[in-house]
Every structure is written in C-alpha cells, then in structure tokens.
Amino acid sequence: MAAADLSRRGLITASTAGGLLLAGCDRLSKAPSVQRFTGSAEGLTYSAQRALLTGQPLAREFDARHISRVFKSNGTRHPTGAAYAAHLANGFADWRLVIDGLVAQPMQLSLAQLRAMPARSQITRHDCVEGWSAIGRWTGAPLWSLLKLAGLAAAARYIVFHCADDLGGTGDARGLYYESIDLFDAFHPQTIMAYALNDAPLPVGNGAPLRLRVERQLGYKHAKYVMRIEAVASLKPLGRGMGGFWEDRGYEWYAGI
C-alpha cells in the first residue's frame, strides 16, 4: 500500500470521535485511570450496539436487481509473493484453509471440500469507511459449520482470520493483514467464508480464493485472502494486540454498521 493511502487512512481515523479523543489526549491517556475510562467507554459502545441489534439481528438482504454493476476492489488488490502467485497459477488446487488453535480437531480443507459443504448465498451491501458501498451476492460455507466441524474448545472466545497479503514496505504499514470477530458474529447465520461473488469464483481483487463476510460490520472486518482460521482465548498476543491490522492502527474492533 502506498504511503498516500496510509495517510488518507490516518486522516479518516483521526476524523472519528474516538480518533480525536486519542489524538488530543496523548499524554493523558498514559494515566491508568484514563485507560480504564477509555476501556469502559468502548465496552459501553459495544454493549449499546449489541442492545440495538436485538430484534433486528440480520443484515438487510437485497434483490438481484440491486447488485452493483462493478464491485470495487479495495485495500490489497493482488497479494504479492511467490506462494500466492503459485496458488493462483494452478487455480488454488493445492491451497488449503487451515483451521486450528482452540479446536478439538485441527484441519486443512481444500477449495473443493469447502464448495462441497452446504452453502449460503446472500445479497448484501458492503460499506467501507472510505465512503463507498457496493451490493453483491456472496456464496460460501457458513463459518459456524466450519467451527462445528473442527469442534470449538470451551476456552475459545474469538475467531481470527490470517490473510495472505503483507501490507509491508512503508513503515507503519508493515505486517500481514488479519482480523478477528467474537463468537456472536462467528455463529451468526450470515457470517460466511465466501468463495464466489455474483455466482462467479471470487476474483483476485475481492479476496480469492476465500474471504470472510461478516455482514453487520464495516468493510475492513471482511478479511480477504484468508489462509488460516484460528480460535483463540485472547487477541493480545496477535499483531499489536488490538485484534486486526487496522485496529492496530486506531480503528474500532467492533465496527458495527
């Protein structure tokens, strides 16, 4: 990702209320009491969002006539590196989705195996923080069915998605893309691992061969190029500890729409 993109990201983050608060209170935020306050304020937002979702638990689904003519590709449009290039060259025949961490049965699934599982299709609207939306039909295996297959351990609290793309090369952007969600969203019926967009195999620009759809949250939560799904008890040991590539750089972890 270019430095210009990154500074645009920085501006977007700073323009949110949380971003302003953090940017303006750099020294203050080092005080433990302030950290506790910030932490609980975030918790309030989270439970408030959860409370608001009660009674309307599904994201809106649209009719086929609403499907966008072009579904934009954003963020990484083509992962770099020899490993991804090799997978792409042979149609992802040797690619495997790893499911591990706090599960009874760690596994590796081929694209053919994923396609053979019961699928869900949904026409939903994708909203990016950069100010654009697009409607597409996504088809994939429900995440709950994969977690059931692997047998989620009782200690698991979050599901982490490890991606193939490294946004490295420009200082702060160094690192593999990753994301995480809680078990509410992981078991939500509209949370799927999508391998098709508008009834065609997922294009490279949109995350081939597999990407997350977590329809009640903003675009950056929808991890593309997913290589590994990991069940964990805590997000702290990953990346910089905030639960995702953009969260590590100031974005909200729970990005409710």
Ligand X SMILES: Nc1nc2c(c(=O)[nH]1)N[C@H]1C(S)=C(S)[C@@H](COP(=O)(O)O)O[C@H]1N2
- By CB under 6 A, name the binding residues for ligand X: 72-76, 128, 163, 165, 177, 205-207, 219-220, 222-225
Looking up tokens 């903003």, which residue turns up?
218
Which of 10/205 has CB closer to ligand X? 205
Closest CB 241 distance from Mo ion, rounded Å = 21
Quick note: the x/- pattern for Mo ion over 177-216, rule CB under 5 A, is ----------------------------------------
Pairing of strands 211-213, 97-101: unpaired
Choose which of 79, 136, 140, 219 interacts with Mo ion (CB under 5 A). 219
Span of 23-31, 125-133, 221-229, 238-246 interacting with Mo ion by CB under 5 A: 125-133
Residue 128 binds Mo ion (CB under 5 A): yes
Q: Pick between residue 142 and residue 244 the one whose CB is nearest to Mo ion.
A: 244
From Mo ion, ligand X, none, which one binds at residue 223 (CB under 5 to 8 Å depending on kind)?
A: ligand X
For the residues of 15-64, what is the DSSP string, one character each? HSHHHHHHHHTTTGGGSHHHHHHHHHHHHHHHHHHHHHHTT--SPP---G
171: left (phi over 0), alpha (psi -120 to 50) or beta: left
Contact call for residues 109 and 99 (beta carbons, < 8 A): yes
Q: How far is the CB of 251 from Mo ion (least distance, A)?
A: 10
CA–CA separation, 106 and 78 (whole Å)? 28
Residue 118 burial (C-beta neighbours within 10 Å; 0-12, 13-18, 19+): exposed
- Residue with CB nearest ligand X? 75
> Under the criterion CB under 5 A, does residue 220 sit at the interface with Mo ion?
yes
Binding partner of 224, given ligand X, Mo ion, none, CB within 5-8 angstroms per partner class: ligand X
Q: How far apart are CA 124 and CA 224, in angstroms?
A: 16
CA dihedral for 10, 194, 138, 188, sign (positive or negative): negative
| Cβ closest to Mo ion, residue 137 vs residue 222 | 222
Q: Pick the closer one to Mo ion by CB: 18 or 151.
A: 18
Q: Which does 225 bind (CB under 5 to 8 A by kind): ligand X, Mo ion, none?
A: ligand X
State which residue, 214 or 231, has the beta carbon closest to ligand X: 214
* CB closer to ligand X, 119 vs 128: 128
Instruction: Compute the least distance from the CB of residue 35 to ligand X, in Å.
Output: 27
Q: Buried b / exposed e across 219-234, counting CB within 10 Å, b at 16+? A: bbbbbbbbbbbbbbee
Tell me the C-alpha distance between 139 and 161, whole Å: 18
Calpha distance 220→208 (Å, rounded): 16
Residues near Mo ion (CB under 5 A) are 128, 219-220
